[in-house]
A and B are shown apart, each in its own frame.
Chain A
Amino acid sequence: MSAVTAPTGSSSASTWDRVRTFRPPNRYLPIIATAALFIGLFGVGGMRYDGLTDPQVLLSLLIDNAFLIVLGVGMTFVILTGGIDLSVGSVVALSTMIAAKTLDMGWSPYLSIVAVLATGTLLGLLMGLLIHYFDIQPFIATLAGLFLARGLTYLISVESISIKDPTFTDLAFRTVWIGDYYIRWTAIIALLTVAVAAYVLGRTRFGRTVYAIGGNEASAMLMGLRVAFTKVGVYVISGFCAALAGLLFSLYILSGNSLHAIGMELDAIAAVVIGGTLLTGGRGYVVGSLLGVLVLGIIKTLISFDGTLSSYWIRIITGVLLLAFVVVQRFATRRRA
């Protein structure tokens, strides 16, 4: 490393040149920008507020946003194909309700988890089939999904149902200690989801087809890629992720309520966009969405640390960040084109 900071010999000079002229590939720039934003916010916060630099704050960020991370993963798949999924917030609410109701009826917790995941996946499958086979715009098909899931939630119960099942509460509060700091299982599940999704997108044929469809669906079709399977598949994944996020959310909040997660689809979309994924599809990474969620999370944390700012500033700041990223994306793609 000293060769980098103090170039003397001829060979080290070329190393220095390589470092000096190093430009990260363009495709990673959005992620780097988001990471820099996160670190910047964390740094500014650390200077202003005592206690923010505690590593536990970072781990709590993961714990408090576990469900949003999982939602962001599913949304990334959909947006990469150039689609959008408006139903995820309602599916989260439906999942909390199914979990709470089935546990209340005395089902085994494992059966209840399976029921939740199956429902979310099935809803995603139905929306995917509508979108691909009937050429209905993703926006409208998932709008129907939004209404359907919210309506089913109300149909199950208009009242809030609390979750008292010992397996669920145990899972909700079980912690893993890393030295003096702890993390909950929900956060670990969220990180595992990110890892699996990153592998699928980066290293499998399915993942490459997702990017190809987002780039140009007609070309992907002509190349003989499995467009139908993949396009329906991303909505199935999104539905599954929404159900999983719903489970994590019900562990976080320990109740089922038809008023849960109103507008959460907006948070998920915002996180994906701030994470650098192009809303027109074809470019972006799951890790970016993770960073996007963390940026939204740190803003929330900063506002609660500050104490003088009201919570509605979160929405305004999120909107400003969205604007900045969308405008920058717009100019970046225009230059490329």
Chain B
Amino acid sequence: MPETATRAQRVLRHPLLWPVMALVVLLLVNVVAKPSFLDVRMQDGHLYGNLIDIMRNSAPVMLVALGMTLVIATRGIDLSVGAIAAIAAAVACTRIIGAGDEAALSTAVMAMTYAVVVCIVLGAWNGLLVSVLGIQPIIATLILMVAGRGISMAITDGQITTVNNPFFSDLASGFVLTLPLAFLVAVAMVLFTAVLTRRTALGMLIEAVGINPEASRLAGVRARTIIWTVYAFSGLCAGLAGLVIAANTNSVNANSLGLWIELDAILAVVIGGTSLMGGRFSLAGTFVGALFIATLARTIPNIGIPSEVNYLFKAVVVIAVCLLQSPKARALLRVRRSAAPTLAKAGSPA
């Protein structure tokens, strides 16, 4: 008996409990509104259904949030990801159009590689401002956030550029092993990062930098290199997300591509339980957070509310999550609970 009690306690205290519960509740709401919501059927060798759509649509936010998680773990923030996504899409699309054979596989691969390299450079630029010049992350990345859309428009010459390359559009609409390719790419990136950070010391070093950059430097951690790397990685992730979004419509609109994706990504990170104060991060939490946001976007039209009202629900989620994480709000809650002693034990979720 005591062992089961501790196991129950461990489950209750698991940091992933709340994000997963929120996701489950959201799915339940959908099922109540429309019982066939969870149905998945096989057609032409692919899976189809709302759940599959949610997976596919979650890919861009998941990618951006992945990079954002590591940046936030170092006590930073990257506001420029939306602009970087727009630049990646613009670079890739103009490269595809400019190539000799527009529909060839090599064209798509070359264009995407080129775009991703550009994005890593842009991310490294953010890292330079933050780690070498010591500018606050929110301001350093604000610069590229402002200028980035202009740069993206300069690349596409202010036009909405449409491309015609089946391999490029497969990135968003293709299927591998019956699942959407975009989702698999995002999951592969998450797994790769998880192995890299949790099976080596890198994750711990990133957290050390987030807790106290100066102390970690004195302890022999190369804080500057690590900060530089996480921003470059965030640029890479944002670039991949931009490619997925552009491939989905086979076009790039520099004005609207990836607009506010930085806010969605931060929201996904926060829902996943990564503290904005830095010093600890949860990639699994971010994964669930991104799925939550994609599910929310699907839920609202499903229960018969105009999809634009999405923003209102996101506002409620932001406030609720932040209040749950805020020590002061928790203290307030605890005072209430201690008034009812039978409930006192249920308090203090991790």
Interface residues of A (CB under 8 A from B): 84, 130, 133-137, 139-141, 143-148, 150-152, 154-155, 158, 258, 262, 266, 269-270, 273, 279-280, 310-316, 318-320, 322-323, 326-327, 330, 334
Interface residues of B (CB under 8 A from A): 77, 133-136, 138-140, 142-151, 153-154, 157-158, 254, 259, 263, 266-267, 270, 276, 306, 308-315, 318-319, 322-323, 326-329
Question: B143 is contacted by which of A147, A326, A334 (Cβ under 8 Å)?
Answer: A326
Query: Across the interface, which residues of B come within 8 angstroms of A141, CB to CB?
Result: 319, 322
> In the complex where A147-B318, A270-B146, A310-B153 touch, is A326 in contact with B140 (Cβ < 8 A)?
yes
Which partner residue on chain A sits nearest B262 by CB separation? A143
Measured in the bound complex, the distance between the Cα atoms of B151 and A280 in whole Å is: 27
Which partner residue on chain B sits nearest A132 by CB separation? B328
> In the complex where A139-B77, A155-B309, A312-B154 touch, is A134 in contact with B142 (Cβ < 8 A)?
no
B65 shortest CB reach to chain A, Å: 15
> In the complex where A319-B146, A319-B147 touch, is A158 in contact with B306 (Cβ < 8 A)?
yes
> In the complex where A134-B329, A279-B136 touch, is A148 in contact with B146 (Cβ < 8 A)?
no
A143 adjacent to B266 (CB under 8 Å): yes
Residue contacts A-B, CB under 8 angstroms, 14 given: A135-B326, A139-B138, A140-B318, A141-B319, A141-B322, A154-B311, A266-B145, A314-B150, A315-B147, A315-B153, A318-B147, A319-B143, A323-B147, A326-B135
B271 shortest CB reach to chain A, Å: 12
B322 adjacent to A151 (CB under 8 Å): no
> In the complex where A140-B270, A141-B322 touch, is A152 in contact with B312 (Cβ < 8 A)?
yes
Which partner residue on chain B sits nearest A323 by CB separation? B143
**Pair count A-B, CB < 8 A:** 125
A151 adjacent to B143 (CB under 8 Å): no
Question: A143 is contacted by which of B146, B150, B313, B318 (Cβ under 8 Å)?
Answer: B318
Question: B259 is contacted by which of A143, A262, A323 (Cβ under 8 Å)?
Answer: A262
Known: A258-B308, A315-B149, A316-B154. 13 other contacts (CB 8 A): A134-B322, A147-B311, A148-B311, A151-B311, A151-B314, A154-B311, A155-B312, A313-B150, A315-B153, A318-B150, A319-B146, A322-B143, A330-B134
Measured in the bound complex, the distance between the Cα atoms of B144 and A313 in whole Å is: 14
A154 shortest CB reach to chain B, Å: 4
Measured in the bound complex, the distance between the Cα atoms of B139 and A269 in whole Å is: 10
Which partner residue on chain B sits nearest A158 by CB separation? B308
Query: Across the interface, which residues of B come within 8 angstroms of A319, CB to CB?
Result: 143-144, 146-148, 150
10 smallest CB-CB distances across A and B, nearest first, come from A319-B147, A151-B312, A315-B150, A151-B311, A154-B308, A312-B153, A148-B315, A147-B315, A316-B150, A144-B318
Question: A144 is contacted by which of B135, B315, B327 (Cβ under 8 Å)?
Answer: B315
Which partner residue on chain B sits nearest A273 by CB separation? B139
Query: Across the interface, which residues of B come within 8 angstroms of A266, CB to CB?
Result: 142, 145-146
Which of A84, A273, A279, A319 is most buried by chain B, counting CB atoms within 10 A of its CB?
A319
Query: Across the interface, which residues of B come within 8 angstroms of A311, CB to CB?
Result: 158
B314 adjacent to A147 (CB under 8 Å): yes
Measured in the bound complex, the distance between the Cα atoms of B205 and A277 in whole Å is: 35
B141 shortest CB reach to chain A, Å: 11
Question: A322 is contacted by which of B142, B267, B308, B329 (Cβ under 8 Å)?
Answer: B142
Query: Across the interface, which residues of B come within 8 angstroms of A155, CB to CB?
Result: 309, 312
Query: Across the interface, which residues of A come within 8 angstroms of B318, CB to CB?
Result: 140, 143-144, 147
Measured in the bound complex, the distance between the Cα atoms of B144 and A27 in whole Å is: 28
Query: Across the interface, which residues of A come within 8 angstroms of B143, CB to CB?
Result: 319, 322-323, 326
Which partner residue on chain B sits nearest A280 by CB separation? B136
Query: Across the interface, which residues of A come within 8 angstroms of B308, CB to CB?
Result: 151, 154, 158, 258
Which of B139, B145, B309 is most buried by chain A, counting CB atoms within 10 A of its CB?
B139
A281 shortest CB reach to chain B, Å: 11
A156 shortest CB reach to chain B, Å: 11
B139 adjacent to A151 (CB under 8 Å): no
Question: B319 is contacted by which of A84, A144, A150 (Cβ under 8 Å)?
Answer: A144
Measured in the bound complex, the distance between the Cα atoms of B320 and A144 in whole Å is: 10
Question: B322 is contacted by which of A144, A152, A310, A326 (Cβ under 8 Å)?
Answer: A144
B349 shortest CB reach to chain A, Å: 17
B113 shortest CB reach to chain A, Å: 25
Which partner residue on chain A sits nearest B312 by CB separation? A151
B323 adjacent to A134 (CB under 8 Å): yes
Query: Across the interface, which residues of B come within 8 angstroms of A145, CB to CB?
Result: 315
Measured in the bound complex, the distance between the Cα atoms of B328 and A316 in whole Å is: 42
B133 adjacent to A330 (CB under 8 Å): yes
Which partner residue on chain A sits nearest B157 by CB separation? A310
A327 adjacent to B329 (CB under 8 Å): no
A318 adjacent to B146 (CB under 8 Å): yes
Measured in the bound complex, the distance between the Cα atoms of B77 and A320 in whole Å is: 20
A136 adjacent to B322 (CB under 8 Å): yes
Query: Across the interface, which residues of A come within 8 angstroms of B276, CB to CB?
Result: 137, 140
A92 shortest CB reach to chain B, Å: 15
Query: Across the interface, which residues of B come within 8 angstroms of A262, CB to CB?
Result: 259
> In the complex where A140-B318, A322-B143, A326-B140 touch, is A146 in contact with B263 (Cβ < 8 A)?
yes
Measured in the bound complex, the distance between the Cα atoms of B16 and A64 in whole Å is: 50
Query: Across the interface, which residues of A come within 8 angstroms of B311, CB to CB?
Result: 147-148, 150-151, 154
Query: Across the interface, which residues of B come within 8 angstroms of A133, CB to CB?
Result: 328
Query: Across the interface, which residues of A come within 8 angstroms of B323, CB to CB?
Result: 134, 136
